[in-house]
Amino acid sequence: MSEVEYFKKLHEKIGDDFITLSSLNIMKTSNYEYPGHFVSLWDDFTHNIPSWENYLFDKFKGKDDLVFLELGTAQARASVWLLEEVLTGNGCKLLTVDHKTEQYASIKGNSFLAELYNTIDKQTPNVYPDKIMEFKNRDWWKDRNDFKFPYNVLRNLKPYQDSERCDFFKGTTSTFFKSLNVKEEVFDFIYIDASHNPEDVILDAVNSFRLLKTGGMMIFDDYGWGNCKVGIDCFLETHRNYLEHHLDKFTNYQMIVEKTKDLV
Ligand SMILES: C[S@@+](CC[C@H](N)C(=O)[O-])C[C@H]1O[C@@H](n2cnc3c(N)ncnc32)[C@H](O)[C@@H]1O
């Protein structure tokens, strides 16, 4: 079934509520309003916005000819925020990489959706608009714990790909680095948020750092999650003569790295 057919079927099943869900951006955790075309089913990113504004705005916002790289696009929450809020100068570009374009969000493991459903269940007044509270009367409500919402990242990135401000690479990060035909430092900023296995994180870090300009910045997500830090610490230790780093002082969760010296 094509994406269009899938969305058509989904729309038939839950009607305009699907659009309402995404346009209300109920999954957001900060007050950032995504553009109207953006459909998102969970939120990996907006809690970082206050600290990213702090770290990225002075350094990059509105400057020309910047090239950014993101490893791990998911629904393109970080990508779209970067394109809308930072890469606003002339000739800027974002490359973003993921081995998947379509994923599903179910209530399982989705704290935002779970919280929404719980709130509706309890009929907590004045928390969500009446239109959302009406969900409880819908046919699909009884199946809500098994209901899976699909998303397609290409839909969220389309306007930026059309205007040649963004390229999406579908493949693993190691395939991406192998496919690159550049040896010199080309990126001003790199967000590392793909596989969180330490052996993959360290490879992504080393490959990225070789292509990061001196003076450029890298951010690792999830320093405080699982074994991700094992890979990050290993990279930091082996590259300590070429960088400065510190834990994000707002979230205490992401690792911020600045490249201070060319690798020899
Ligand atoms: C945490 S999500 C990224 C969230 C995104 N950066 C954001 O802020 O919205 C991680 C993504 O990395 C992708 N991923 C995991 N391992 C990968 C790999 N080896 N190569 C490419 N993508 C990978 C997953 O498919 C998933 O979409």
Cα 257 to middle of ligand 1, angstroms: 20
Which CATH number describes the domain made up of 48-101+153-259?
A: 3.40.50.150
Cα 120 to middle of ligand 1, angstroms: 30
Residue 142 to residues 4, 43, 104, 137, 139: CA-CA distances in angstroms? 26, 24, 19, 9, 7
Residue by residue, pLDDT tens for the chain (264 residues) are 554 555 566 566 666 666 555 544 555 556 688 887 787 777 789 889 999 999 999 999 999 999 999 999 998 999 999 999 999 999 999 999 999 987 776 666 666 677 777 878 887 777 666 767 777 887 778 877 776 666 778 989 999 999 999 999 999 999 999 999 888 899 999 999 999 999 999 999 999 999 999 999 999 999 988 899 999 999 999 999 999 999 998 888 999 999 999 998
Domain spans of the chain, in order of start? 48-101+153-259
The protein residue whose alpha carbon is closest to atom 18 in ligand 1 is 172
Rg (CA), the chain: 20
Q: Give the ranges where the chain is alpha helix by DSSP (H).
A: 3-14, 17-23, 49-60, 77-85, 111-122, 130-133, 153-162, 173-179, 198-211, 228-238
Cα 73 to middle of ligand 1, angstroms: 5
172 lines ligand 1 (CB under 6 A): yes
Q: Number of C-alpha atoms within 13 angstroms, CB side, residue 163?
A: 13
